[in-house]
Every structure is written in C-alpha cells, then in structure tokens.
Structure 1
Amino acid sequence: MAPVAALAHWWDGPPRRQVSHLSGVVPDLLAVALDPLPAAAPAVVSFRPALPGSPGDQVHDVLRELDRAAVALFPAWLPGAEALDGSSALGVAAVRALAERTAAGSHNFGPFLADLAARALSGVSGTTFPAEVRAAGLARVIAAAYGRDHLVVIAELPGDAGPAAERALVHAAEWLVHHADVTVWLAGAPLRSVDRVRSVRLTLPPAIATLPVPPVRPAAGARVTYPPRSGVPRADSPAEQALERALAGCDWAHGRHWNHDYDPDPLGRRYRLDLYWPAERLVVEVDGDEHRGVTQFADDHRRDVHLQLHGNHVLRFTNEDVLADVRLVVHNIRQLLEQRRKGSSR
C-alpha cells in the first residue's frame, strides 16, 4: 500500500531529490492545486513526453524544453539584466559579465550561466555544454526565477506508455534527479513495469480533490509548461503578450495587474487572476487549450461564481479570440471597465 503523506503541506509528501510515483493523482489536478504556486512550495514545471523514445531521447527532450523555459523566463533569474540591449555586442558582453559575477556568488557554473544569459538576451539558440552541465544549470535558474531554491519536475505518464516507454521515462527521471538535483513526480497512468520507484498517495485540498478527473491522456509532442510570474504576462502565452502590447498604449487601461494573486478569504482558497483591475473589480481571463479539459473547466466555473460573489465581474476570452482580433478584445474590456468606473463614481 502506498504510504499516505500527512504533512503540513501536501507537496512535502514525496521525498526531495528522488523519483516518486503519485498514486491516484493526475496532472490536471496538480495543475489546479499548484495555481497559484504556493509561497512555501518549490518551483514546479510539468513535462509531457513524446513516445516512443529511449532514455536518451527523453533526457534530450526535457533539457530542450527546460532550456526554452529558462530563456523565456529571462531576466527573472538574472537581476540587473532588465535594461540590457541584446541587439548590440556591448549588451551581450554586459550580460555575460553580469552572469559571471552572479555565478561567482552562487552555485551556478559561470560559463554556462553566461552562455544562457547571452542566448536569452540576443535570441541566439544552441549551446555546446554537455547535458549534465545543462541539467544542473537549468534547474537552478528556473527555480531562481520564482525565488525558490529547488525545482520539482512533474513528468506525465501517458496512458499509452508500454513497458519499454515506462522504463525509459523512469531512467530519464532518475538521470535528471542525479544530474540536476531536482525532484521528479511521475503522475498520470499507473506505474506497471517498474517496481523500484516509491509510490506516494497525496492528500490534496478538498476543493481540488472533489473536481472531476479526466481519463489519462495519451502521449503527445514533448513540452514543458511552467507557472506564470506575478506582475507580468505569461512568458509562454503569445495571447497574453499580445494583449499586454495592445493595452500598453491605452491610457484608460491603467491600474491593471497581470497574474495577480487574489485572496478574498484568508481561510479559503487563493486564486490567480490572469488580468485584474482591483479598483474596478474587473477580472479578465485568457484561456488556453487546457481550460477545455473537464478538471479546469469545472474549476473555472467554481471560481467564477466565487469571484462574482465577492463583487467582481469576470470576462473570459480564448487565446484564439485574442490572437485573431485583439482590438475587439481590447474594445470589450474598455467598455466594461468604463461601465464599472461610472458605476463606482455614482
């Protein structure tokens, strides 16, 4: 029987710096439970593997995706780089020097951090560092981007993973733990062909545990997803980035907060709001494909009701809405925002 984690925080159940299989927990529930990322939790990214693939293929895929995440999260992990210009040789030299100085006062490997910073600033891809160096360096910078000292990788076990694919994923997870000093949670399908991985049964908060659970997904293209950072649009959301660019030139759009933590009840659940005008109590959500799943859809409905009961108005747009006609989306936001402002001034 899987041991039950009865700790102060549910995410402390699986042992750190090991591979664990989360019994009875699917990635969709974890995604909701970790949004917003709790203050005491480690940084968390999720990896969906592509099948079939050898252990080496899986390591290659996850490192490629972690590299993309680290580049997108720049300069959050390198304070002082915000104003540097990547279009000039001087800017690239400056960011390399800054990275070297930062590494000297940390556990980072200076040459790797300098290379990553230069690539992130200039937009140049490709690196020659060995996989072991990349794994350790990427784990550190992604954790640092969220102000955390440790990284958890949630690796999804697809429903169509056969014995060979399952063994390859476990081997890759163990390699990642050993070389990147991370924790890996395997979640999704049962672990049938590997018996050396500890199984842990988590007790999620009741508001999460009662959400509907989707069937285990089959494998898809390899990708890593990571949490948004408070105060800015999601680094991995072209729709949020496009909407912010459109709003940036609008005087009436002042007072907005991206990816804002909202805590209406200190004893209740916190929410992360994609875009929020607190003075007008206007919430704008920009929904990607994940919101079409049964778990996220049910949670969206529940939280919309909760937000409205606390006096907020909620507008929802899909990524496609924003990318197809951002001006119409901005027009709709402005209309409702002005209505809310007129109503509050009476």
Structure 2
Amino acid sequence: MIVADVPVDRVVSLPDVDIDELAHCLAAEHGELAPLVSRTPVIGAGPGAFAEAAVAELERAAVGLLPAWLPGVGESRPDLGGLAAARLLAAEVARTSRYPRAFLTDLAVLALTGRRPLRLPPLRIRARELTRLVAQAFGRRRTVLLVGGVGGDDVVAGAEWLVSNGGPAVWLLGAGNDRVPVVRLGRPGRGSVAEAGRPHPASAVEAALEAALARESWASGRRWNQDYRSNELTPPVRLDLWWPAERCVVEIDGPEHCRPDRYELDRRRDVRLTLDGYAVLRFTNARIVHDVGAVVHEIGTFVRAQRRDTTEGQ
C-alpha cells in the first residue's frame, strides 16, 4: 500500500513507519493531507484527555499559521485599534468561508495577544473547525494527526471520537492496537522515502527544480536529499540540495515551515551549517513553481562565485 491509499475516515495503525519520515513525505508531496505531529499525547487519563490534547495541538498549529488563514492581519497591531481591525477581518473571513464567527475572531485575538476567551466553544466544534482551518492554511483538503509511540485503548477511543466528530484523520505510529486496522507501508511501493542523490519521488517541486538545473552546465556536483552531520556527536540532518565543494546548501520550504516550531528548527539548522562554513539558500515551493528561472539564476550566481573564489585562492 502507498501513503495515498491509507484510510482517512477511521483510526489506523502504521507500526512500521517512522513518524518524521512520514510527516516529511506528506508535507513534500502535492497531496490532500496536511500532517500534524503529536509526540507526547496524554496517556492513562481517559479518551477525553487525549482529545483535548489533540485539539490543543491543532490550535497551536492554527495560531502559528495565522497569516495563511487571515491574509492582511500582518498590518494589524496588537493594540485596541489593531485588534478591532483583526476582529473585523476575521469576521469577514468567517462569513465567506463559513466558520463560526466567534470561533474565528477569538482565534485571531489569541494568535495576536495570547489571550483566550472566557468561554470556549464545545470541544467537537473546536476540533472540527481547527481541523478545517489547518488544512486550509496548508493548502490541503484534510488534516491528518500523526501520533507517535502509543496505541492504548484511551488513545484509540479519543482518536475515534475526533474522527467521528469531523476532526483530523488519526494515524497511530510506533505501536499497534487490536481495536484498529493495521496498515503496512512497504518500502518499495510507498513513495515516501527520498533516495539519496535524487529528488524526492513525491515532490513535484523538487522535480521541477532538478529539470531546470539539468539544463545548466554549472550545476554539476549537486546532491539531492543526502544526510549531513557536523561531527560524530551531532545527529544527521537531511539536506534538500547540496553542493559540497562549493559549500552551498539549498533548502526548499513548503507551508509547514511557517509553523513556529519548524521555523525555529530551520534557524538552528541554518546556524549550524553557517558555523560549518556553508551558505544556506532558502526558497519556498511557490517561488520555485512560479519563477524557477529566477531561483536557478540565484543559485547559479552563488555557485559560480564560490568556484571563482576557490580558483583565485589557489
């Protein structure tokens, strides 16, 4: 079975799949699912506690993706005038996109100020609307919650409640449970692993950039999707595109890179690579799709300059 065939209308277990690898696959490909990773679900506190924790994950993701679901809010300031403008904007988006008005306006205030409303909507409404909002922000049709490391009855019951109430699809990774079907994703057919040295098989963006680079003589020496580590004590990181000799790293950022946790992780990677003597060039999926020529020109300018500097320094 391939990733695209995994059911989204019920809770399933994928015991043999790495959660980070699957999240990367779903984020990189132009599919219908927006992945959301949950590493520390509530265990032993009942199904309701798991559902609450899952909705909190959805809320954190929605807050981090604020510009994507409320265009123009960046112009608002978190003072009284700015908040009033943000609430009006959220109310208009709620009207046109059929979200509950109070839900969306309160979420906008939370994202801008950190303040929660005194009264929250019922959990089922928050689960349903946050699920839809996160998928919309990622440009996908549905959100899938990837739950790592557990598969107990409370987790399964809470996950089933989410799915039945319009919440995200829930895939349990790392542990099985007799109550839910087990899905096996075999390596040869799942299309979720990028082969070292080649573009990701599920990424149309990487394929488009590779096609453009293949026409350029200066682009020789490039390596796709290879692991890099600073030293023996640091964990490896997967680089999207790499010119080792020219010490140039190109990273391709999908919508998931807007999330605060992912943004912080990216910055840490960039600092580590910079300290190791690499330049990091970042491009969004949208820019590559709409202006791949300019992206190739920018990369080429840097790579050729590095080669000239190396030649002159000999």
Q: CA deviation at 1:58?
A: 0.9
C-alpha distance 104-169 of structure 1, shift in aligned 2 (>3 A):
same
Residue type at the aligned position of 2:10: Q
Aligned with residue 198 of structure 1, among 146, 162, 181: 181
Deviations 1:197-246 (A, max 9, x none): 222222454672989xxxxxxxxxxxxxxxxxxxxxxxxxxxxxxxxxxx
Could you tell me which residue of structure 2 aligns to residue 111 of structure 1? Answer: 102
Alpha carbons 1:13, 1:202 under 8 Å: kept: no
Residue type at the aligned position of 1:107: R
C-alpha distance 116-310 of structure 1, shift in aligned 2 (>3 A):
farther
Scaled by the length of structure 1, the TM-score of the pair is 0.59
1:183 aligns with 2:174: no
For structure 1, the 5+ residue unaligned runs are 212-260, 267-277
Could you tell me which residue of structure 2 aligns to residue 236 of structure 1? Answer: none
Aligned to 2:105, what secondary structure does the other structure show? helix
Could you tell me which residue of structure 2 aligns to residue 250 of structure 1? Answer: none
Alpha carbons 1:29, 1:209 under 8 Å: kept: no
Aligned-partner Cα distance in 1 for 2:228–2:124: 37
1:341 aligns with 2:276: no
1:20 aligns with 2:12: yes
Q: CA deviation at 1:99?
A: 1.2
Residue type at the aligned position of 1:47: S
Aligned to 1:44, what secondary structure does the other structure show? strand
For structure 2, the 5+ residue unaligned runs are 197-204, 212-218, 252-263, 282-300
Q: CA deviation at 1:140?
A: 1.4
Q: CA deviation at 1:117?
A: 0.9
Aligned-partner Cα distance in 2 for 1:310–1:198: 48
Could you tell me which residue of structure 2 aligns to residue 139 of structure 1? Answer: 131
Aligned to 1:154, what secondary structure does the other structure show? strand
C-alpha distance 13-310 of structure 1, shift in aligned 2 (>3 A):
farther
Q: CA deviation at 1:169?
A: 0.4
Could you tell me which residue of structure 1 aligns to residue 93 of structure 2? Answer: 102
| Matched positions, count | 253
1:92 aligns with 2:83: yes
C-alpha distance 331-19 of structure 1, shift in aligned 2 (>3 A):
closer
Scaled by the length of structure 2, the TM-score of the pair is 0.65
Aligned-partner Cα distance in 2 for 1:102–1:44: 24
Residue type at the aligned position of 1:199: V
Q: CA deviation at 1:38?
A: 1.1
Could you tell me which residue of structure 2 aligns to residue 169 of structure 1? Answer: 155
Residue type at the aligned position of 2:242: L
Residue type at the aligned position of 2:184: R
Could you tell me which residue of structure 2 aligns to residue 80 of structure 1? Answer: 72
Aligned-partner Cα distance in 2 for 1:331–1:154: 33
Aligned-partner Cα distance in 2 for 1:147–1:20: 24
Aligned-partner Cα distance in 2 for 1:82–1:29: 33
Could you tell me which residue of structure 1 aligns to residue 258 of structure 2? Answer: none
Q: CA deviation at 1:341?
A: 3.3
Aligned to 1:200, what secondary structure does the other structure show? coil
After superposition, residues 276-291 of structure 1 pair within 5 angstroms as none
Deviations 1:296-316 (A, max 9, x none): x3x72xx57x63379762499
The CA RMSD over aligned residues, in Å, is 4.4
Aligned to 1:307, what secondary structure does the other structure show? strand
After superposition, residues 217-232 of structure 1 pair within 5 angstroms as none
- Identity, in percent, stands at 31
C-alpha distance 30-83 of structure 1, shift in aligned 2 (>3 A):
same
C-alpha distance 41-170 of structure 1, shift in aligned 2 (>3 A):
same
